[in-house]
């Protein structure tokens, strides 16, 4: 379970005590600081006042998995919501993901422009965790710093976009439609991706307008627990 505190500039109650009380209802769960790239079934956001000024821009998870605390009156509603989210996480874990053949069945991309191998976890309409092995024999590596190959940042963003495509195409309402990348914002690169490494790609839906076929997603690409790249992507389904 992730926890993120506000800056504490004007707290009206003991935030740490409230989080510890909440943790007492879930003794089987570990409550740790929510960091970029870490996967949690939910993140408890402890605000000292009603302003909710906590920075959450580096977390790739849907808003529905945020559990807000702004005072002791939120304790029991937070307990109920956390129990629901843990049950959903257990169900998603049992459901599994996608083998490579299933990925090929949904994505229109093919080698050498296919940057998703398998899916470890998928919650349709909410989030996805996918993997891609950066094969040292990839053609793009031959010309991208040939003496010290690096997986291009643009390909890392494309991998995030393809994972987002899978997240959308797994929904019945988008079945058979063509995903198009129409915009990139807030893209940032933090670490090189090297040949032989495996990318873990986490994507969640931030905003969806099914009537327009327009979706805004947030994605992160990691190697292990190291955040390599992150971006918000706008996709259209045609």
Residue (of 145, 140, 123, 133) closest to 62 by Cα position? 123
* Residue from 40, 100, 109, 144 carrying the catalytic annotation: 144
Is 100 catalytic? The answer is: no
Instruction: Round to whole Å and give the CA distance between 176 and 18.
Output: 47
CB 144: neighbour CB atoms within 10 A? Answer: 16
Residues designated catalytic: 144
């Amino acid at each position: 379970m992730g926890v993120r505190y506000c800056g504490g500039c004007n707290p009206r109650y003991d935030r740490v005590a409230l989080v510890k009380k909440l943790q007492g209802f879930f003794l089987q769960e570990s409550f740790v600081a929510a960091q970029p790239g870490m996967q949690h079934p939910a993140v408890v956001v402890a605000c000292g006042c009603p302003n909710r000024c906590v920075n959450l821009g580096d977390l790739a998870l849907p808003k529905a998995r945020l559990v807000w605390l702004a005072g002791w009156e939120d304790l029991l509603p937070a307990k109920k919501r956390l129990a629901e989210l843990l049950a959903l996480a257990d169900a998603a874990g049992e459901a599994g993901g996608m083998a490579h053949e299933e990925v090929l069945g949904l994505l229109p991309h093919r080698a050498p422009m296919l940057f998703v191998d398998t899916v470890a976890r998928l919650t349709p309409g909410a989030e996805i965790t996918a993997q891609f092995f950066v094969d040292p024999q990839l053609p793009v590596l031959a010309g991208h710093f040939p003496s010290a190959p690096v997986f291009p940042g643009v390909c890392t963003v494309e991998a995030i976009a393809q994972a987002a495509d899978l997240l959308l195409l797994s929904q019945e309402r988008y079945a058979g439609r063509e995903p198009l990348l129409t915009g990139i914002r807030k893209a940032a690169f933090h670490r090189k991706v090297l040949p032989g490494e495996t990318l873990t790609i986490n994507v969640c839906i931030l905003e969806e307008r099914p009537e327009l076929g327009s979706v805004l997603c947030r994605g992160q690409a990691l190697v292990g627990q190291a955040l390599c790249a992150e971006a918000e992507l706008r996709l259209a389904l045609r």
